[in-house]
Chains A and B, each alone.
Chain A
């Protein structure tokens, strides 16, 4: 079988024959075909099964509004379900399969659903599967999902890349039909920066589908010539295969360019698709119109399609859906299909016109009447007619073109709360008064349904839009073109029909809409959700109007009184991959590496993601089989001699200016004004509501210069907060801030031998007298390199933090390891860091968790009442100072072999174990290698007064129930002798 339905003419390349496979069978088509047109050319009308009833379905349209002909395109990881055959550009080797069937497409075992249709009407799921409720998730839902559905996913990683891009223009024109081309030509000649985008791969819109002349050439030739001129203009960017998906704020539009979808596989590293963000000064929407069907009994058989689609297939693709075609119309436009097909040699069975005054024709029969039913199991064979005189007749035909009139494509005009208005002459909605700012609508999208009207309004829209932004564009002479008025008598559905499809993709019939109304779902939004009318991938582009018209009739209202549902972006289904772009896997966000990263990799470090940072978690050594072994060793080695840890990721904010100390007094709840130069102080930052925000240290390097550190996770929000306080609350303080997190590489050198190690690196005296606990200074190291030294300790040991400009970070860690070899210096990661801070009772993210106050953390007395600081007033409020408040405590197991897991809750030893008697919870836990058992930090009601109490730590979810003792949170060296050594 080779393209038996191929006609003459058309805009296909007959010299380039392409092979493709549909449901395992190989066919040929031509360059310029879509999958749908190539299948029709080969006599294939049956392309899918419907969503609910599994009825045989063919193609309804020739565009992106297609509800029926959805296929699984490609195979393997590139398989793409629910792809509209009408928009798939044919390429050699194309592979497609029909979907939503059990067995073959011709003998779908689930077609039994069609026989059960009386039980499967609107609301069927809600009514039937209500009871017993427990059955829904386990039984009903999986079965329904399997039976009623669309295509299936490959469940494999998408091998292609998607890009994002940004474009700017004076004028964007959406749609390259006669109105869009006319607008683009006008703007292009005026020298404006123009973007012309169209979803099709061949630009020209309906000009390619019609036989009208434009001037002295065919419409398609005029489009080609116009595009050639536009291509020659450097200020015009033509974007075929680009769907504008949404009109967003301030003239920003989203658009998806299908760069490689028309190829077997993307070439030369090109992306499959690009999601463009287009910044426009003005926009002309020339999105055309979409024809709507008429509902009649069994109007969904393969072969029944929109009259305009038949015309597109014949004129553009040189294909007739069948040798013998009938037309059913309520307007003049439907007659054009008969005339065009007749001219191409297709047999016209008859034109059935619902109007009594249908225009007569001599070449074929025109009947006044209606199509009341059809026959044909897998495709149309006969149409039953009821004629105006009351007689009936059966018409033999393999294709039936239906025209119920045209709906201007108002979609994008409604993306910013706009509502369309009703136009009686067109029997359709047209764009309403409130358009997205900067948008002009031209051509059929604005109800200008003739070619002439499109050319004129496109040009006028362009001139007006450019005038707005100060660009002078000339209206030039336009070529002569067809200017027929619209003649339509609204006719939505055939009286007496019930299984007449409105929404073919969601299997919604006239009967369903009537049932919905009968059951009280009378708002258009309720109708939509109850029947699922218009909820499919086509979002009701061909079906909504029919549903609205029937609702209006039932409610005794006019269509505009019923109103439309809201149009929302995206205009057509958009791949999630396009929204994700390159932000996949490790590229989801930027990865930040510390200056010692390469060195740590060389040591075989295991890394952990901390925000965007990669930090060494531990450094396994040969022979160590579990992470605990490595971490225990790192802790003991640090506490025993000396360890080193990269702490570069802690946020650093440089604070300078005459009022720097006053500024720190505002942001920290404790005082900083009296901190001497050369000293560091711990600071607790509160939110204005009195809850702890972050903690860190502030080192005073000079009278007017502090270095503030934040936790790794809060570096950004704390800096933002500090700028808020500086700019919005105290705008005239003499203080400047800059984040220097990346500017300095910083290492913690901790342990009893840390001073001895650093004495080999630092150029100055760092003895306890010269550089005591909490000292800080600008220093030099290694004979002159500038550095900063802080005598601060997170581990509880004698410790220093040493910082050098980032470029020297790698050199410094290697130097520390080299001179530290004498002390067996041990690198430690974030796990050992965590163990040591829990052993010391230092709060971290688990304790500073956005719900805890200074009081909870045992730092209530730090909040100075003698000065104004953020959060100080509200930290005094009653709710944060009530008896029975949580206090930070230490928790240890009575039996040293028991675990004390974080997240478990504290209960009294002999009271009930339930939420009502909750006493507190464990926040951070670890195994302490120093103590030889598990320990935890936690919050306990009145915890500071309950030291020594025996309690139960329980987690019913994980089966934990451990006897514990409440202890001080300072497990190791509570007096702090070591850090002052």
Chain B
């Protein structure tokens, strides 16, 4: 596969390490009353769809960016690649 890195352009997927569902960005609030349940779901309940999926890829043999790659797990088509940091900010993780 080829991942079109937002900073570096198209790179072979062999340069990346895969981590799965980009929902891992949405780490719960540790002080919430439901924190125990929230963290259980965060750590263990993960989507694994046959189809479009937002995934985390780490450019380990490259610039060390974490990326959110929107990929179809059936066809391996990639429709969008973003820096995970931008996604995280958009999802309200700025402190």
Contact = CB atoms under 8 A, between A and B. Distances in A.
Interface of A: 249-252, 279, 416-417, 437, 688-689, 716, 720, 723-724, 727-733, 868, 872-874, 876-877
B39 A874 contact: yes
Contact of B56 (A688, A728, A868): A728
Contacts of B40: 874, 877
B75 A728 contact: no
B84 A732 contact: no
A689 B44 CA distance: 8
A724 B17 CA distance: 12
Contacts of B31: 868
Nearest to B88: A731
Nearest 7 pairs of A and B residues by beta carbon: A868-B30, A731-B88, A873-B39, A731-B85, A249-B76, A250-B2, A249-B1
A868 B29 CA distance: 9
Nearest to A724: B66
Interface in B45-95: 56, 58, 60, 64-66, 74-78, 83-89, 93-95
Contacts of A416: 75-76
A720 B27 contact: no
A727 B1 contact: no
12 contacts: A249-B76, A251-B2, A688-B43, A723-B58, A724-B24, A728-B24, A729-B27, A729-B88, A731-B88, A731-B93, A732-B89, A732-B95
A251 B4 CA distance: 14
Nearest to A689: B43
Contacts of A688: 27, 39, 42-43
Contact of B66 (A252, A723, A876): A723
A728 B88 CA distance: 6
A250 B30 contact: no
Nearest to A872: B30
B64 to A, nearest CB: 6
Given A250-B2, A688-B42, A727-B84, 12 more contacts: A716-B60, A723-B64, A724-B56, A727-B65, A727-B88, A728-B84, A728-B85, A730-B93, A731-B94, A732-B94, A868-B30, A877-B36
Interface size class of B (residues with CB under 8 A): 35 or more
Contacts of B77: 437
Contacts of A877: 36, 40
Contacts of B44: 689
A873 B36 contact: yes
Nearest to B28: A873
Interface string B10-47: 00000001010000110110110001100110111000
Contacts of B93: 728-732
A728 B25 contact: yes
Contacts of A868: 30-31
Nearest to A873: B39
Contacts of A876: 36
Contacts of B56: 724, 728
A724 B95 contact: no
A723 B86 CA distance: 14
Nearest to A869: B30
Contact of B95 (A251, A417, A723, A733): A733
B74 to A, nearest CB: 8
A158 B49 CA distance: 44
B46 to A, nearest CB: 12
Contact of A279 (B2, B30, B36, B83): B2
Interface of B: 1-2, 17, 19, 24-25, 27-28, 30-31, 35-36, 39-40, 42-44, 56, 58, 60, 64-66, 74-78, 83-89, 93-95
Nearest to A723: B64
Which of B56, B58, B77 has the most A CB atoms < 10 Å from its CB?
B58
A873 B30 CA distance: 7
A716 B39 CA distance: 25
A766 B26 CA distance: 47
Contact of B85 (A417, A727, A872): A727
Chain B CB within 10 Å — which of A249, A417, A723, A728 has the most? A728
A720 B39 CA distance: 21
A247 to B, nearest CB: 12
A876 B31 CA distance: 14
B14 to A, nearest CB: 9
Nearest to A878: B36
Contacts of B84: 727-728
Contacts of B27: 688, 729
A369 B28 CA distance: 79
Contacts of B94: 731-732
Given A250-B76, A688-B43, A877-B40, A731 B58 contact: no
Nearest to B78: A250
Contacts of B86: 731
Contacts of B78: 250
B31 to A, nearest CB: 8
Nearest to A720: B58
**Residue of B19, B36, B60, B66 with most chain A CB atoms under a 10 A cut-off:** B66
Contacts of A727: 65-66, 83-85, 88
A961 to B, nearest CB: 40
B95 to A, nearest CB: 5
A251 B1 CA distance: 8
A868 B30 CA distance: 6
A729 B19 CA distance: 14
Contacts of A731: 85-86, 88-89, 93-94
Contacts of B24: 724, 728
A415 to B, nearest CB: 12
A433 to B, nearest CB: 14
B53 to A, nearest CB: 15
Contacts of B30: 868, 872-873
Contact of A724 (B1, B2, B19, B39): B19
B66 A874 contact: no
A764 B6 CA distance: 48
A586 to B, nearest CB: 21
B79 to A, nearest CB: 13
A732 B64 CA distance: 17
B42 to A, nearest CB: 7
A876 B30 CA distance: 12
A857 to B, nearest CB: 20
Contacts of B58: 720, 723-724
A872 B30 CA distance: 9
A583 to B, nearest CB: 13
A416 B17 CA distance: 23
A279 B74 CA distance: 21
B55 to A, nearest CB: 12
A876 B35 CA distance: 11
A732 B88 CA distance: 9
Nearest to B32: A873
Contacts of A724: 19, 24, 56, 58, 66
Contacts of A437: 77
A728 B65 CA distance: 10
A731 B56 CA distance: 15
Contacts of A873: 28, 30, 35-36, 39
A720 B89 contact: no
A720 B42 CA distance: 19
Nearest to A877: B36
Contacts of B74: 417
